[in-house]
Structure 1
Amino acid sequence: MKANSSKRSWSTWHPDPASKPAVRDCDHPGCNGAGEFRAPRSRDQLNEYYWFCLDHVRAYNASWDFYKGMSQDQIEDEIRRSTTWQRQTWPLGAKTGNKHFTFSMHDPLGVFEEEAEEMKKARTRPPSPEEAALRVLGLTEMPSVATLKACYKKLVKQHHPDANGGDKDAEETFKVISQAYKTLLDSLTAED
């Protein structure tokens, strides 16, 4: 008759307290100490470790430089990524593509009907020339003349046909930007 394989001896469940787990040797060349303390192998291998004795792990940690060999720009990028735990981020609302937050609410008593109608009209009406010009220039509100000129100058440098090898698309974009600038400048100077 076979012994029941599900039964285990007491020693299987309770190992001998006198036996200790095997100890690693220190990874430092020429050291015979116990490697009880781990240290990452490199910046690119943070989950792979050297195992050192206490004295050698202290020496290794004292000389450790995570940013060694990186340029100033790479260090800045790494610090920025570290502030978000190396996860990609987006400006608020940019990922959805929806520029305006919209919501609906159940209003059985019609308390908010008037406001809802006004909001619906505001969403469906075509934008004014000033609002359209603000969108073209990437602005959210009516700027000062100095801010408008700075924004226009930046966009002209970027989209001028001469800067883009005479590209027709750049020329059309340049025309739209120039018209938007003129519209806003006329509006700003008319207010004064």
Structure 2
Amino acid sequence: MTKPRNTRARAFDPDPDAPQRCCDMPNCSNAAGYRAPRSRETLNQYYWFCLEHVREYNARWDYYKGMSPGQIEAHLQADARWDRPTWTFGQTGSPKSHTTTEEDILDPLDILGRSRRSRAEQARARATPVAPHPLREALAVLGLSWPVSMEDAKTQYRTLARRHHPDTNNGDRAAEERLKQINVAFTTLRTHLMSEGLEKTN
């Protein structure tokens, strides 16, 4: 059985993109298979050496050659920030600093968006008055929302009572039962509104 060939490049294999030419080291006629940057300022421009001379070149290479300690420290700090400017937390790069907002932050999963919507819904819920628990069923039967005035409750009751009265529904028992539910609901709501009105006047 034939073993699969290992196509992974070995550590010291020549660069497959190496030009077909001799080593750049003077008086060397070996094939140039390994690249090395020409200088700190031109890292994308290369010398091409044979393996022996690229090892020699790399052993002598000093990226920080000619730089002062202060320049080296500044360069290291820039590398730690991926060469991007930074500002004090809570500020952006504009001349006038301002507090960082959620809009300033990259949010590909919309986590902050969901958080904003959740807070908005909670604020709306707090702003919307909640009906007392004993009145919720009565309001649902009458088709009313909270808060409601006595006048609105009476108007809605009259409308529903006419619609579901047995005399206007040919004695339909279902309409009669519905009217009973409406009467109970209106009585519950009226009692609460009247007692609430009395409490406010006292």
TM-score range, shorter chain: 0.3 to 0.5
Per the normalisation by structure 1, the TM-score is 0.43
Larger radius of gyration: 2
**Higher RCO (CA 8 Å, separation ≥ 6 residues):** 1
